[in-house]
Amino acid sequence: MEMGRLKGDCLSVDKLHGCIRDYPMIINRNNTARQREKYKKNRTMSHKDHIEGLERPRQLSPPWWLQSPHLQTLWPKFFRRIPQLEFREERLELADGDFIDLAWVERATGPIVLMLHGLEGNLRSHYARPVLSTLAEAGFQPVFMFLRGCSGEPNRLSRTYHSGAAEDLAEVLALLAASGRPVFAALGFSLGGNLLLRYLGIHGSEALVQVAMAVSVPFVLGDAAKRLEKGPSRIYQRYLMNRLKRSYLRKFAETPSPIQVDLEKIHTLWQYDEQITAPLNGFQGADDYYHQCSSIHYLKDITVPTLILHSQDDPFMYPHNVPTQEQVGPGVELAIQAHGGHVGFIEGARPGAKECLIDRLAPAFFQRNL
């Protein structure tokens, strides 16, 4: 399918944000207000049912057979029902000469919700289509944002996507707003959640979204890298390292890499970030990258209404990395669970459990903030 194109090389991100601030009633606030009114007039009573999802207990009630954090993490990947959706693809041309691809859910209308995926994620990620479908059914217009190089085609520049690329999100939001399609809400998973929270903290009240939600965020990137080297969590690291290495080889299959690296000697996420992520993206090393991009440093400055869904037993990080209410800004609500694993949060009382806390909370939180 040929992708539509929207060029951003004529304006810098700062200029785009400046334009939107100078004409808020034309591009940003007014269009969003119109979307809200149109949604409120057209939604059916069934859409109101989603609001009850936020009024019901926010604590996860996992089935007895799905208490383990590893089962919560792995079960949806292998057994969760994936709905059939049709997408309209669009390519956004960035000011630096690179591009980012979007996938819009066909025939969905309403306020726009932008989804950001996790490390090596895409539309095949187990959470992507189910949550996109749920949002569409709730009266929103979901759009999936592929981070640089994740849409199946290597990005043009040698730089890659990473956990702190808030400038990419800023440019996408500004381009969409400038084209008369302001994003109402953003929803980030894992790495995408960290990126989203960092963006919200950097831009504060000037952020170009009205509401946000982040799920299973690696708030302290350095600790997350260490956690993946421990115990059963090494299984996830091995899986991710295989994916990352394949992506690196695919990216530089036809163009020479600007760095010299022996992939056979890279076995941990820290080693990958030290030898590949950091030098390709202008960081002094993995530790510098982790320090600059960990969202924990930006939570205090978030003013946009934001819901953080996280599990204390997430096998990708330590319990002590979970922020407290004292560590977050006035716009942040915490929905911390005892169980749920990493982007799991499966509910239900029988082996065929289909309910997911994410599906319940996301549309409810967004609707409450319409």
The active-site residue, picked from 17, 50, 117, 342, is 342
309: its two tokens:
């869904």
Specify whether the CB–CB gap between 269 and 294 falls below 8 A: no
Q: Which of 143, 145, 111 is nearest to 31 (CA)?
A: 111
User: What is the distance, to the nearest Å, from the Cα of residue 338 to the centroid of all Cα atoms in its chain?
Assistant: 22
Tell me whether residue 262 is one of the annotated catalytic residues: no
Tell me whether residue 46 is one of the annotated catalytic residues: no
Q: What is the DSSP string of 195-222?
A: HHHHHHHHHGGG-S-SEEEEES--SSHH
The active-site residue, picked from 133, 190, 216, 295, is 190
Tell me whether residue 314 is one of the annotated catalytic residues: yes
**E strand spans, 236-297:** none
Q: What are phi and psi of 7, to 5 degrees?
A: -90, 140
Alpha carbons 238 and 117: distance in angstroms, whole number? 19
The active-site residue, picked from 168, 273, 313, 314, is 314
Name the strand (E) or helix (H) holding 27.
Answer: none
Alpha carbons 42 and 194: distance in angstroms, whole number? 34
Alpha carbons 312 and 130: distance in angstroms, whole number? 24
5: its two tokens:
């194109």
Task: Report, as residue numbers or ranges, the catalytic residues.
Answer: 190, 314, 342
